[in-house]
Structure 1
Amino acid sequence: MVDIFFNFLFIIFSIYVLLKTIFYALYEIKTQENKSGGIAIIVFSIIILTFATLFIFLK
């Protein structure tokens, strides 16, 4: 029961952080006109979130 609750909280927090990161990357692309930086932020955040989630669920 505790494991399911922890996994649920982890997923919610991960989605929150991912959305905040994507919105920052969009801000970076639109206002700063830094497309390569914004795309790199989005790609790295998705990769990191994917690996972190896999390690948590496969432990």
Structure 2
Amino acid sequence: MGRGRQKAKNTKIARDLKYDTYNVNYSALERELGSHTDEQYVDKWADQYSDEYEDEKA
């Protein structure tokens, strides 16, 4: 595709994004962002790999 066609396509997409009105479900967004869990962070990859840095240090 030539540069002119690509620029026209990008311009069309930019206009669509700028002027289109989107329906946002704010309650679902609030639930997703506001969910707090008391679970501790668990590194699921910790058991698969040894700590090479600690091995060199010893």
TM range (shorter): 0.3 to 0.5
TM-score normalized by structure 2? 0.35
**Could you say which structure has the greater relative contact order, defined with CA pairs below 8 angstroms and 6 or more residues apart?**
1
TM-score normalized by structure 1? 0.34
- Kindly indicate which of the two structures has a greater share of residues assigned to helix: 1
